[in-house]
Amino acid sequence: MEVGKNKKHFVLVHGACHGAWCWYKVATLLTSAGNRVTAVDLAASGINPKKFEDEVLKFSEYSLPLLDIMASLPPQERVILVGHSLGGLNLALAMDKYPEKVSVAVFLTAFMPDSSNRPSYILDKDYTLATTLVRVGSLFQEDLSNAPFFSKERYGSVTRVFIVCDEDMAIPDEFQHWMVENNPVKEVKVINGSDHMPMFCKAQELCHSLLEIAERHA
């Protein structure tokens, strides 16, 4: 992708227990292709100094670093939001609050809520948390069970793309396809041979997919 008028701004959102560091391969590839990349550390994640036990009790608090980035964008700028795993719910919150600032939202083997149920619904369906993650995390299920629905008018107005990883053992392939069937998206892409962490095992393929999505939808 050429630098200049085609330059895109990707905002990368990690999943539970991870941080901005997990995007280092993909961020480097996207930047090398002439794009701007912002990888966010959500609250109590990565190098963010807060702790879940007593400082981050609500999903909105956990999402605040992402929401701050969205709020700081210039009025005419629209970004490509990419959320991995639990990060799909952070994407949904940002989309609902700032739909005018998102050109396309990419759910990377991520939880993708609908606008007909509370956010906790998608977590209640199925989720096996990986056992090798590096920081204590939270799924905020109690908080999300009382949260309002994401709106069809705002969240539902943003173009969405889903990337399926067909060897994912944390969010199984069948569940990924169920989410898409339950809440149809503009496009579904598949990364074959990828586990739950395509940014590590299939970084080149993931970068290629993101660039294609940006070219087609952003």
Q: Tell me the two tokens of residue 125.
A: 């369906």
CB-neighbour burial class of residue 127 (10 A; exposed 0-12, middle 13-18, buried 19+): middle
How many beta carbons lie within 10 A of that of residue 132, not counting itself? 6
> Which residues, 6+ apart, have CB-to-CB distance to 46 below 8 Å?
14, 18, 19, 20, 21, 135
Task: Dump the DSSP string for 29-62.
Answer: HHHHTT-EEEEE--TTSTT----TTTT--SHHHH
Which residues are marked as active site?
85, 168, 196
3-state secondary structure 107-160: EECCCCCCCCCCCHHHHHHCCCCCCCCCCCCCCCHHHHHCCCCCCCCCHHHCCE
Q: What is the distance between the alpha carbons of residues 64 and 94, in angstroms, rounded to a whole number?
A: 10
What single DSSP character describes residue 100? G
